[in-house]
Structure 1
């Protein structure tokens, strides 16, 4: 298989990828207890963030299965040691086996499995599956976005006042202050923060959230799959200069970001940087 991939070739892979992601979910779900603490084994990684046996099992399964589906692709995952060979590869899988591990641990339903494929540095496939709710978001570059097989689009809101906003409280407060300085009443509808960053972005793509704010320190695996879903639905994940997110750099860590419909990007960035 070549080291780049067309949208047509990516589309042909989707049935196998859907099956792989759903099978991966079946490894995690037995450890998830809705509204209760998981009984899965838990470790602390460097820096103190938790990882469970479910994260490890899903990661190992997907690494094998996705490598079979696209053998030429390199690998970048939250739970696998980074291999710099990815920097020289035209195709790269970017995977978060459980995005929102703390939600998974506590019985909150908003955790997900996120799988993205980069071709020549750009996302060409994005899948975000929320096993606890059963929702399945997906996109192929140039082919639109879908949730549970139905097409989705971002909100058509054209003005920031009254928008449905979610994300870290300090960023929401900055957004509020910036809009107030411009003489507008923010009147935001605050949506509870979505623990899975991939799901937060996907919900902007489906139009149930207008503005998703992302604090610094997000990683490629939190974003790449959902970013494509948002792009194909009429939005994007951008930095505070309005630039789209770049993936598969040597350091896959990002600063503050916004996930918004294209029509809200300029006013959101202006308010945050006022």
Structure 2
């Protein structure tokens, strides 16, 4: 179910739960009325340091650091990073940043971020919270994954999210995706980058015929029109299997340059053959052959879409 468009109250512990399924206490000081305990005036006086000691107390805390350093610390703690050799497909480009995979369980022992700093105090929370949402890349393969996140973090924090990586499996149902795209268009005002791929089951030629469910949603008019309603992007990358006129339509409708990748093309290394050993040459040859076959399948897919005009 999609989240309500009305703002949902949430606690800071929901932030950690959203990423790591941790149950941590609320970082905000409680506003509940409590009976104050009587003060021990003698103890207060005894604990007060002499004036000369107080003047010489130059203790450094996080909040005494320059704001530039604090922001760097927040970046190190709250932006998901990992050893990309573990699984390069999880990395953001050629960096060591890791996508926040909302379709996978987030467990403490595998966590790549430390959101506990958001519990420290209100000032740190307000300084660091935008880093958590604007600098991370959120990856989904079902609308329900994003709906759950929105319920957990609230629409206010959704507006801070800048980057989404979206994969639409070929067996996906249309209506939930339309609901999500409408919510993103209306509520995700901070969204600046989307990378979206459409899946198709192209193992057999008959599966690419017009109307076959295996073609997925890459040639669905309602889907591309809903996507075009998002007006805040600075970057859009589409890949997988999609209709021939989609890139031009999305550029005109969204006012953004569209990078269109044909099919599921694998990255080929930009090296001279003399720089590769025999094993690497064999692997690169296999990649090229797979990409050539993928391009041919993609062209066959698009032949069935030439008359589709959004």
Calculate the TM-score normalised by the size of structure 2: 0.26
Greater percentage in strand: 1
- Higher relative contact order (Cα pairs below 8 Å, separated by 6+ residues): 1
Greater percentage in helix: 2
Calculate the TM-score normalised by the size of structure 1: 0.28
- The structure having more radius of gyration, on CA atoms, is 2
